[in-house]
Amino acid sequence: MRAFDYAMRQGWASLWRSRGSSTFAIVAIALAMIVLGALLLVTWNVEQLLAQWSSAAEFSVYLRDDATSEQRGAIESLIDQSGVTAGREYVSKGDALTRFRREFAELASLTTGFEDNPFPASVEVRVRSDADADGRAEELVRRLAAAPGVADVRYDREWLARIASGLATIRAAGLALATLMAIAAGVTVATVVRLGLYARREELEIMELVGAPLTFIRGPFIAEGLLQGGLGAVMAVALLGLTYGVVISWWGQDLNALFDGGAVEFLPPRLLAYLVAGGMAVGSAGGFAASRHAG
């Protein structure tokens, strides 16, 4: 505890003494954390949206025009007994036509020239999110597609998979960039801390000669890196918050529309804490690398 206390006091004093050069290290950490934080902000919001879409998964079973009421009953029974659905709704041919005319009013005139209603009757099924995730919904869709009276089953999850895959690519690229920037920031911290180490070489020599433990010799340099990292990360969080506030106040409605009506949210406290801890870890690593020259 005394070693920790000594390390923190000396680390802070050293940071203050070399505040000019320390600013470079703090800014480097802040830049790395801003990239990482922005990446987290985007991916976290898109992930929330994907989760929302996944939990609202539905599929439609289109019935043949000549499907009998017994066949429809068998289909509905298959759906109800599958245990993977959260509900179903029968949409008759007439309902489908009405819905089309309501939702696509500008195209309603296209439906007037037909002698018969061209829209098929269907059963719309809401899928339980766990059944969507573990593939049981897919299995039900396959069974329904083969059932008598069924014209087609539409359960297009590919676009969700494509977005998830695109998100994974963005996340990987962003992580690679953030990692590179974190390494550069760690090297900057190590260089700055090492400059302070040379300034304190008299003290270090005495410490070695009087038998000071390694925790007392190296601790202050690790603490200095930790403080630089922490300050950089807090600065990054503050800048991210400020930018988020400005963006939301200017383009909030557009973004919310883009996100399917859901609000674009700032990072939750847990992720912000991880971000600050990450900055401190990078700073500590830089401080540790420098401290190896201390004794």
Partner 1 sequence: MIETHHLSKVYSRGLYALRDLTLTVNKGEFVFLTGPSGAGKSTLLRLLLRQERPSEGELFVNGQNLATLKRHEIQEYRRGVGFIFQDFKLIRTRTVLENISFVPEVIGVPPAQQRRRAFQVLKWVGLQHRMNAYPLDLSGGEQQRIAIARALVNDPLLLLADEPTGNLDPDLSLEIMNLLREINAGGTTVVVATHDRELIRLVGRRTVTLDQGRIVEVA
Q: Which residues bind partner 1 (CB under 8 A)?
A: 2-3, 6, 202-203, 205-207, 209-214, 216-217
CB of 274 to partner 1, least distance (A): 33
Least gap, CB of 25 to partner 1 (angstroms): 22
Q: State in angstroms the smallest separation of the CB of 21 from partner 1.
A: 17
Nearer to partner 1, 13 or 255 (CB): 13
Smaller CB separation from partner 1, 194 or 218? 218
Buried b (16+ CB within 10 A) or exposed e, 26-63: bbbbbbbbbbbbbbbbebbbbeebeeeeeeebbbbbbb
User: Which residues contact residue 71 at a Cβ distance below 8 angstroms, ignoring those fewer than 6 apart?
Assistant: 63, 147, 148, 149
Integer CA distances (angstroms), 195 to 49, 71, 291, in order: 47, 82, 11
Q: Which amino acid is at 156?
A: D
Cβ-based nearer residue to partner 1, 2 or 270: 2
Output 90 or 216, the one with its CB closest to partner 1: 216
How buried is residue 290: exposed, middle or buried, by Cβ count under 10 Å (0-12/13-18/19+)?
Answer: buried
Nearer to partner 1, 94 or 213 (CB): 213
Bridge partners of 89, per DSSP, are 124
- Rounded to a whole number of angstroms, the minimum distance from the CB of residue 269 to partner 1 is 36
CA atoms within 13 A on the CB side of 137: 26
- When the beta carbons of 98 and 215 are compared against partner 1, the nearer one is 215
Nearest to 25 by CA among 150, 163, 188: 188
Closest distance to partner 1 from the beta carbon of 283 (Å): 23
Residue type at position 192: V
CB of 218 vs partner 1, minimal distance in Å: 12
